[in-house]
Amino acid sequence: MRYVLFLLLAFPAAAHAQWTDHVRVSVNVGIQQPASTTFDATTTKTVNLETARFTTTYDTPKGQMFDGGVLVRIARGFGVGAAFSSFTKSSAGSVTGAVPHPFFFNTPRAIGGSTMPLERSETAVHVQLAYVVASKHVDVAIAGGPTFFNVSQDLVTDVSYTEAYPYDTASFGSATISKASVSRTGFNVGADVGWKFSKNVGVGGLIRYSKASINFPLAGTASGVTSEIGGLQAGGGIRFYFK
Amino acid sequence: MNRTLKTLSGALAGAGLVFTTAGRPVAQMRTLAIAAGMENVDRLRDWDGRIDRMSRVGELELRDEHQDTLLPNRRHERLRQLYQGIPVLGGDVARQTERGVTVSIFGSLYEGITIDPSPRLLPEEARDIIARLSGVDLPSRLPQLFVLPLDGGGYALAYRDQAISADEASVYFIDATTGGLLQKFNLFENQSAVVQGVGVLSDVKKVSVRSLSGTFVADDQLRPPALQTYDMRGNLTAALNALNGVTTLTTANLAQDPSATWSDGANVDGHVYEGYTYDYFFKRFGRRGLDNRNTRIIGMTHTVRPQDIFTASGNTVGLFYLNAFYCPDCGRDGLGMMVYGEGSGPAIVVSGGVRFSVRNFAGSLDVVAHELTHGVTAFSSNLGTSNEPGALNEAFSDIMGTSVEFSVRPATANYLMGENLTTTIVAGFQRSMQDPLSLGTPDNYAIRRTDGQDNGGVHANSTIASHAFYLAIEGGTNRTSQLAVQGVGGANRDQIEKVFYRGFTQLLTSGATFAMARAATIQAARDLYGANSAPERAVTQAWTAVGVN
């Protein structure tokens, strides 16, 4: 939110000036707050003649983001550009489940535990139409457009458990993990502010929100695993300007 | 040590190729995973190239290559992973090609192996360790060296070999550096199976069986003891030979069905109820089977053919049709066998003017538990089979039989013995622990049977003691003495069950009398719950109410 305020304050001061650079290249590091920080998936399989259910809660906390982009002026304050961003974060998932009893129907045994860290990796190409206003030292770009996501996510595909006679309890053993990858198109909107300290070099800040909804196919589920990808990205870095 | 298991799978499916890969620290991935619907030809080609490179540098070894027998032009390769020339356990790949082009890859590969490939232990030393651990004198065959992925992460250089004794068949992994036991698992563990069974009363239940060569046999692999049910298929001669120890029952005699849904009610119920009874004694008293040492439990069904009841002798009908029994010394090993009566089959039984049919005795949980409790008695107090010891013997079996019923089916359990045997309750066929007089057996020592029938009235007089058990739990008034008892209540039934179990299995001896049973159970109540405790008071009042002082 602080970034948004900063941009809103910066923009009016620069609004009267003309954008004269032809190309602007930005490289940023920052933080991404994922659009969806948790999601669940329940897999089922037949155990002891009944259906065993295992629900994994995936946690995707905010994490470091890398971003690089180029913006080309096409007319007056308008430009087109593309940015590439990358976000990777791992966090242990929590598994709960109900395992049918080997001797009795309708006597499930509850299990629960944590998985190894599950990795979420998002790469995105943000295609943008931008409007830029600039002063001698400051330029502000408001941009938006489609985003092409490629997301890979570690998914729990099976759960093992331990049990011993008389089997009235069972304990979580381990999770079988597979990486699933999905590509999806979403959208992005954002703003970028730069401050030139020389003719061709400056520093700047970025804030961008992008989002898409995805579905990972997952065996043992009726319709796969649905999650939101993208999120709020905020960062800062270096800017290069070319006439 | 960091360890990564890389699982890969690819297959042409539906619209395109599906493929997944994943790298994880430690062993959380042992099964193949296909994320259907994701196509990734590039990744398949990538893995294809990696497999070729790994083969060239000796990290994969071709183990088998053969033509597809169903699809022309298809070939299959199996490769196993090597680390410094040593096989990695569980690391292998299956690749399918069509005219030289790879169309699918499945398998698991381990990464991050950095252990020293030189064993400090000689194979002979590892063999000696396994021999010592297993108690099996192993032959000259030497254990094989493997890289063993460890459950807790990392790898170990390990020798692997198996040892099969009369008690178990296990695979041992011995640390090739320290000589310690890394892992041991049962060779045949995966043969256990659970099938669905339909019992004598058409009720559906789970049956713990063994999978064997395309069929399922009634050999419980999930409970600690050998627990087997044999189907004699109406061959009484074979049953008698087995009971008398003339012959040994074999796997071929086990009740079996190739279907995962068993429909022979007697085989289903006999096998399941033996397990339930074992469970009850274990969970309630910590007892491990009949002898408390997990001796094997054998039950026999269908010792006679139903249609032969019309030509069978009266004694045969009484023993093998309308009866169930535990024979404590039967079998070639003399460790006892259960026999479940076939029931009346097509015949109608007439008793006291009542006409009724009798179901297979295996279908009555309390009856099965009753008979197995005779085995518990035989291995503990060894109560006699006539007069008062015999009556106490029967009473204890009724008490435990009913207790098993309350344990397994609390919603429908009752204090009737054998109520599921017939469609109508018949005096002389069933017994009531709640109201013995209602079914013609005494509820008080003062009116005990002394006519010499039934080995001194062992079944009839048993209800004196079993009624005392009932009163100690539920409370009430003895009809004959009109003495009232304050029971501990059904919610505390486990207290009285433990008191009677302790008294009858640990304190009583073979020639015990009713008076001794009273004293023993009161002592047991004091041992377990203290003097003047509610259980002691209830048990004391109950014995007094039934006229045993």
CA separation (Å) from B71 to B66, B181, B525? 12, 45, 74
Which residues from B are below 8 Å from A219, CB to CB? 33-36
pLDDT < 70 regions, chain A: 1-17
Tell me the residue type at B106.
F
For residues B288 and B164, what is the distance between their CA atoms, to the nearest angstrom?
Answer: 24
Count other C-beta atoms under 10 Å from residue B495's C-beta: 22
CATH number of A158's domain? 2.40.160.20
Q: What is the pLDDT of residue B166?
A: 56
Contacts of A222 by beta carbon, 8 Å cutoff, 6+ apart: none
> Which residue has tokens 């460890």?
B150
Task: Report CA torsion sign: B481, B483, B489, B492.
Answer: negative
At residue A239, what are phi and psi to the nearest 5 degrees? -130, 140
Interface check for B28 against chain A (CB to CB < 8 A): the answer is: yes
Tell me the residue type at B540.
T
For residues B413 and B87, what is the distance between their CA atoms, to the nearest angstrom?
Answer: 57
Nearest chain B CA: its distance from A57 CA (Å): 17
> Cβ B35–A218 below 8 Å, yes or no?
yes
Q: What is the pLDDT of residue B71?
A: 80
Instruction: Report strand pairing: A63-75 vs A50-59.
Output: unpaired
For residues B352 and B355, what is the distance between their CA atoms, to the nearest angstrom?
Answer: 8
At residue B387, what are phi and psi to the nearest 5 degrees? 55, -145
Number of H helices, E strands in chain B: 11, 26
Which residues from A are below 8 Å from B224, CB to CB? 165
| B157 Cα distance to chain centroid | 36
State yes or no: is B370 an active-site residue: no
Token reading at B480: 């004959």
Interface check for B21 against chain A (CB to CB < 8 A): the answer is: yes
- Tell me whether domains B123-187 and B382-549 share a fold: no
Which residues from B are below 8 Å from A168, CB to CB? 283
At residue B356, what are phi and psi to the nearest 5 degrees? -155, 165
Fold exhibited by the domain B382-549: Neutral Protease; domain 2 (1.10.390)
DSSP letter at B245?
T
- Annotated active-site residue in B271, B370, B374, B459: B459
- Annotated active-site residue in B371, B394, B474, B536: B371
Count other C-beta atoms under 10 Å from residue B185's C-beta: 11
- Average pLDDT in the B433-452 region? 95
Contacts of A22 by beta carbon, 8 Å cutoff, 6+ apart: A72, A73, A242, A243
Nearest to B468 by CA among B376, B548, B370, B537: B548
> Cβ B22–A182 below 8 Å, yes or no?
no
Task: Classify residue B313 by burial, with Cβ atoms within 10 Å: 0-12, 13-18, 19+.
Answer: exposed
> Cβ A103–B279 below 8 Å, yes or no?
yes
Task: State in words which class domain B191-379 has.
Answer: alpha beta
Longest dimension (CA), chain B: 93
- Average pLDDT in the B474-489 region? 98
- Average pLDDT in the B78-103 region? 87
* B454 half-sphere exposure, CB direction, 13 A CA radius: 18
For residues B72 and B168, what is the distance between their CA atoms, to the nearest angstrom?
Answer: 44
What's the pLDDT tens digit per position in B245-256? 999 899 899 999
Per-residue burial over A176-193, b if 16 or more Cβ lie within 10 Å, else e, is: bbbbbbbebebebbbbbb
Using 50, 70 and 90 to split pLDDT, how confident is the model at B9?
A: very low
Nearest to B153 by CA among A174, A30, A165: A174
What's the pLDDT tens digit per position in B114-132? 899 999 999 999 998 988 8
For A25, the domain range is 2-242
Q: What is the pLDDT of residue B187?
A: 60
Token reading at B532: 């003047």
Fold exhibited by the domain B4-111: Nuclear Transport Factor 2; Chain: A, (3.10.450)
CA separation (Å) from B128 to A138, B117, B496? 80, 21, 51
Task: Classify residue B121 by burial, with Cβ atoms within 10 Å: 0-12, 13-18, 19+.
Answer: buried
CATH 3.40.47.10 correct for B123-187: no
For residues A62 and A43, what is the distance between their CA atoms, to the nearest angstrom?
Answer: 26
Q: What is the pLDDT of residue B34?
A: 24
What is the chain A residue with the closest CA to B222?
A: A165
| B176 Cα distance to chain centroid | 37
For residues B355 and B313, what is the distance between their CA atoms, to the nearest angstrom?
Answer: 20
Q: Return the domain boundaries, chain B.
A: 4-111, 123-187, 191-379, 382-549
Interface check for B225 against chain A (CB to CB < 8 A): the answer is: no
Q: Is the pLDDT of residue B429 over 50?
A: yes
- Average pLDDT in the B427-437 region? 92
What's the pLDDT tens digit per position in B533-549? 999 999 999 999 999 99
For residues B373 and B378, what is the distance between their CA atoms, to the nearest angstrom?
Answer: 8
> Cβ B22–A158 below 8 Å, yes or no?
no
Q: Say what the ipTM of the complex is.
A: 0.80
Ramachandran category for residue B524: left, alpha or beta (phi over 0 → left; psi -120 to 50 → alpha)? alpha
For residues B409 and B201, what is the distance between their CA atoms, to the nearest angstrom?
Answer: 14
Q: In what helix (H) or strand (E) does residue B324 lie, and over which residues does it extend?
A: strand B324-327
Q: How many domains does chain A have?
A: 1
Which residues from A are below 8 Å from B196, CB to CB? 49
For residues B364 and B201, what is the distance between their CA atoms, to the nearest angstrom?
Answer: 9
Q: Is the pLDDT of residue B361 over 70?
A: yes
Question: What are A's interface residues with B at a Cβ cutoff of 8 A?
Answer: 48-49, 101-105, 115-116, 154-155, 157-158, 160, 165-168, 174-182, 216-219
Task: Report CA torsion sign: B285, B290, B294, B298.
Answer: negative
State yes or no: is B459 an active-site residue: yes
Q: What is the pLDDT of residue B15?
A: 25
For residues B320 and B542, what is the distance between their CA atoms, to the nearest angstrom?
Answer: 36
- Average pLDDT in the B349-372 region? 94
> Cβ A116–B24 below 8 Å, yes or no?
yes
Mean pLDDT lowest for which of A151-165, A210-224, B164-178, B193-207? B164-178
Query: Please, what is the average pLDDT of chain B?
Result: 87
